[in-house]
């Protein structure tokens, strides 16, 4: 029973309303579903499909293409250690070994208390701060083995709850377009140049 709850359905409809084609809202809606449950259930995929007017197979096909969508439960904290070149040059492999030892799981595994999932990740756009990692996609920079130990302790103790929401929650600030200010969706069917724009582009 993991369809989107009422609040999320309202949010989903608001998001769908911003796009010329409902299906464009697929990925944002999948994120909503993942935020609600921590991962994507079959019911959620079906529900998203209904909302955007696609088949479940189409939505599943989209979802499986993207790394961030999980199809089974992961830990409350997803720890992604970057292993691409800049981080590798600065000791990412050692950091991964240390994390595996410390958490007692191999990359790809989840600790038995369900708190941590450890994964290999690719470049996180923080290459000058190598080696780096993300916890639920929040960056930590220039991470030493000792930093990692402290981080894991802090996460266990709950002292970072304010900074790092549980897996699934991305942004805690959302866009909202006030109805009285919106220019409105522009569908491909709309004819003619926009009001401010000369129909004959002199360029």
Partner 1 sequence: MSTYRWAAGYIDDGDRPKIVTSRFEYEDSYTLERYHATGGYDGLKRALAKAPNEVHDEVRGATILGRGGAGFPAGTKWGLMPADKYPRYLVVNGDESEPGTYKDRLLMERDPHQLIEGCLIAAYAAGLAQVFLYIRGEMPLAHERVGQALNEAYAAGYIGKNILGTNFSVDIVLHWGAGAYVVGEETALIESLEGKRGEPRLKPPFFPAAIGLYGQPTIVNNVETLSNLPWLLVNGMEAYTAIGTQTSPGTRMVAVSGHVNRPGVYEIINGTTTFRDLFYGEEFCQGIRNGNELKAFVPGGGSAPWFTPDQLDLPFEGRLVGAAGSMLGSGAIMVMDHTTDIPAAALTLTRFYAHESCGQCTPCREGGTWLERVLARVVAGNGTPADLDQLMEIGESICPGDFPHAANEALGLAATPFPYKMTTICFVGPSAYAPVHSALTLFRSEFEAKITRRNSIPVAAIHSTPAPAGAH
Which residues are near ligand FES by CB under 6 A? Answer: 82, 84-87, 123-124, 126-127, 130, 132
160's contact among partner 1, ligand FES, none, with CB below 5 to 8 A by partner kind, is partner 1
**Does residue 78 come out as left (phi exceeding 0), alpha (psi in the -120 to 50 range) or beta?**
beta
Cβ at position 189, least distance to partner 1 in Å? 9
Q: Which CB sits closer to partner 1, 18 or 73?
A: 18
93's contact among partner 1, ligand FES, none, with CB below 5 to 8 A by partner kind, is partner 1
Cβ at position 27, least distance to ligand FES in Å? 23
Q: How far apart are CA 118 and CA 104, in angstroms?
A: 10
Q: Which CB sits closer to ligand FES, 8 or 124?
A: 124
**Sequence-separated (6 or more) residues with CB below 8 Å from residue 147:** 140
Partnered with residue 80 across adjacent β-strands are: 119, 134
Q: Which CB sits closer to partner 1, 10 or 177?
A: 177
Cβ at position 126, least distance to ligand FES in Å? 4
Partnered with residue 139 across adjacent β-strands are: 134
Cis upstream peptide for 53 (omega within 30°): no
Q: Which of 87, 102, 4, 81 is nearest to 44 (CA)?
A: 4
CB 143 within 8 A of CB 132: yes
115's contact among partner 1, ligand FES, none, with CB below 5 to 8 A by partner kind, is none
68's contact among partner 1, ligand FES, none, with CB below 5 to 8 A by partner kind, is partner 1
Q: Which CB sits closer to ligand FES, 87 or 164?
A: 87
Locate 43 and state its tokens. Answer: 């019911």
């Amino acid at each position: 029973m993991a369809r989107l709850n009422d609040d999320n359905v309202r949010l989903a409809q608001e998001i769908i309303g911003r796009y010329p084609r409902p299906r464009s809202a697929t990925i944002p809606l999948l994120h909503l579903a993942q935020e609600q449950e921590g991962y994507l259930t079959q019911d959620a995929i079906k529900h998203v499909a209904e909302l955007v007017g696609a088949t479940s197979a189409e939505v599943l096909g989209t979802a499986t293409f993207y790394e961030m969508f999980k199809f089974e439960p992961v830990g409350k904290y997803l720890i992604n250690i970057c292993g691409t070149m800049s981080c590798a040059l600065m000791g990412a492999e050692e950091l991964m070994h240390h994390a595996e030892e410390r958490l007692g799981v191999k990359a790809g595994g989840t600790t038995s208390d369900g708190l941590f999932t450890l994964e290999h990740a690719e470049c996180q756009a923080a290459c000058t701060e190598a080696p780096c990692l993300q916890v639920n996609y929040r960056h930590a920079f220039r991470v030493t083995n000792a930093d990692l130990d402290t981080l894991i302790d802090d996460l266990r103790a709950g002292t970072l709850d304010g900074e790092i929401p549980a897996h699934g929650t991305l942004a805690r600030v959302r866009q909202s377009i006030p109805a009285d200010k919106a220019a409105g969706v522009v569908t491909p069917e709309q004819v003619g140049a926009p009001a401010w724009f000369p129909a004959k582009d002199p360029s």
